[in-house]
Amino acid sequence: MAVDTPAPAPSLRPEVPPAVDLGPATALSCRECGTRFPLGPSFACLECFGPLEIAYDYAGHDAEELRKRIEAGPASIWRYAPLLPVPADVADKPNLNPGWTPLVKADNLGRELGFTAQLHIKDDSGNPTHSFKDRVVACAIEAARAFDFTTLSCSSTGNLAGAVGAAAARAGFKSCVFIPHDLEQGKVVMAGVYGGELVGIDGNYDDVNRFCSELIGDPAGEGWGFVNVNLRPYYGEGSKTLAFEICEQLGWRLPEQIVIPIASGSQLTKIDKGLQELIKLGLVEDRPYRIFGAQAEGCSPVSAAFKAGRDVIKPVKPDTIAKSLAIGNPADGPYVLDIARRTGGAVEDVTDAQVVEAIKLLARTEGIFAETAGGVTVGVLKKLVETGQLDPSKETVAINTGDGLKTLDAVADSGMTAVIRPTLESFRAAGLVSA
């Protein structure tokens, strides 16, 4: 059975057989016009400048056999290697082996928010560099190997820089990553500790991304694989593994509702793609599901477009503590709108104060310390319930994409409740007896 992006029109150029081994991946296909290109380090269609995606040939798969093969695989994203643009022996190569993170039954949080159905937190803070970015980099690095790149690079709001630095170190690549100069110190240190080049750009993420696009076309960038630019089609496929894991961890069924943070929007669109592929392969039963996007108010161009009923995303200048989501001109924004509307979901935003409140709420109720992006997701989840946009009587998954230790400044007012002398008298005087 084939699961694919739309087929090209008959008049368009024929598909060229791939010259590299990337498993079931057969070509690059334009998301807009369907034109196909051979597998290579490309990200934009030469016909219409639309974004390129991976096209696959899944022919010959039996659903039950495939399910058993996945379940017998490693406890990482490589259990899904038959569904990804990676060689069959990917698990034997030097990489960080991310994925298979917990799907936490968030009963305490659910009760507090008024859920009568099961609420889950997909907690991706347990990945090797403590964010979901390890998933996407793991797929991108296999493409970098296939295309003989020597240096891994990226434009990053923080988490991706750390993921690229760590993956490059493990796999024996050089690395040079670019970040806005004013990121949280925890993310700067984590990105720099792996020994690669870490370059701050005087500007926001959109400035960083523009610079990297220019560097790709310059001799100075020769031999460089930019995981989220010229390797973007392969990189994006790593986010599908969140969808695969959620469904497998639910006993091979679709969740009824999912809440996903939005930066570029790629994670949300690829989760939807992953769900659709599972349906077409017969690995899960087809049933309705709703997808909700979460943004911070200080960088909410997709939310603003959704609420206004627009199809066009108006770029903004980010101003939020959720710096990992601070992309003012999100590339996949229009596709996020399509998915939210198609599935009956929504895109919502919360203030920075609500982000902080949500970080503490998740920590207090479930013992999960999320970074600011996770605070956005939980804050939006709460708001969606309160405004009646999300149904608390339906099974729901909210995604926490990173670890709160990276964004400590957001909750710097948390700390010791008392300082006492080492005596029982001082303990009692502090009013802690009934604590």
Cα distances from 213 to residues 217, 263, 331, in angstroms, run 7, 18, 13
Give the tens place of pLDDT for each residue, 390-399.
999 999 999 9
pLDDT band, very low/low/confident/very high, at 185 (cuts 50, 70, 90)? confident
Quick one: which of 105, 121, 119, 107 has its CA closest to 394? 119
Q: Tell me which amino acid residue 224 is.
A: W
Report pLDDT for 157. Answer: 85
Query: What tokens appear for 114 in the block?
Result: 């008024």
Residue ranges per domain, the chain? 25-79, 103-130+236-410, 132-232
Instruction: Say if CB 45 and CB 32 are below 8 A apart.
Output: yes
More confident residue, 6 or 403: 403
Is beta strand 52-56 parallel, antiparallel or unpaired with respect to 119-123?
unpaired
Q: Does residue 17 register a pLDDT over 60?
A: no
More confident residue, 2 or 191: 191
CATH topology of domain 132-232: Rossmann fold (3.40.50)
Instruction: Say if CB 225 and CB 140 are below 8 A apart.
Output: yes
Q: Tell me which amino acid residue 163 is.
A: A
Spatial separation of the C-alpha atoms in residues 193 and 198, rounded to whole Å? 9
Average pLDDT of 116-123?
98
Q: Does residue 3 register a pLDDT over 70?
A: no
Spatial separation of the C-alpha atoms in residues 229 and 155, rounded to whole Å? 8
| Domains 103-130+236-410 and 132-232 agree in fold | yes
Q: Which DSSP string do the residues of 96-120 spell out, in sequence order?
A: -------EEE-HHHHHHHT-SS-EE
**What class, spelled out in words, does domain 103-130+236-410 have in CATH?**
alpha beta
Cβ atoms < 10 Å from Cβ of 122: 25
- Work out the angle between the directed axes of helices 159-171 and 185-192 (0-180°, nearest 10): 10
pLDDT band, very low/low/confident/very high, at 9 (cuts 50, 70, 90)? very low
More confident residue, 4 or 104: 104
Q: Does residue 7 register a pLDDT over 80?
A: no
Average pLDDT of 116-143?
97
Percent of the chain surpassing pLDDT 90? 87
Average pLDDT of 339-343?
98
Report pLDDT for 216. Answer: 87
Instruction: Say if CB 110 and CB 119 are below 8 A apart.
Output: yes
Cβ atoms < 10 Å from Cβ of 421: 10
CB contact set of 235 (below 8 Å; sequence gap of 6+): 136, 137, 139, 140, 143, 227, 228
More confident residue, 354 or 214: 354
Spatial separation of the C-alpha atoms in residues 384 and 378, rounded to whole Å? 10
Give the tens place of pLDDT for each residue, 218-245.
898 889 999 999 999 999 999 999 999 9
What's the whole-number average pLDDT of the chain? 93
Average pLDDT of 254-260?
98
Spatial separation of the C-alpha atoms in residues 20 and 23, rounded to whole Å? 9
Average pLDDT of 266-283?
98
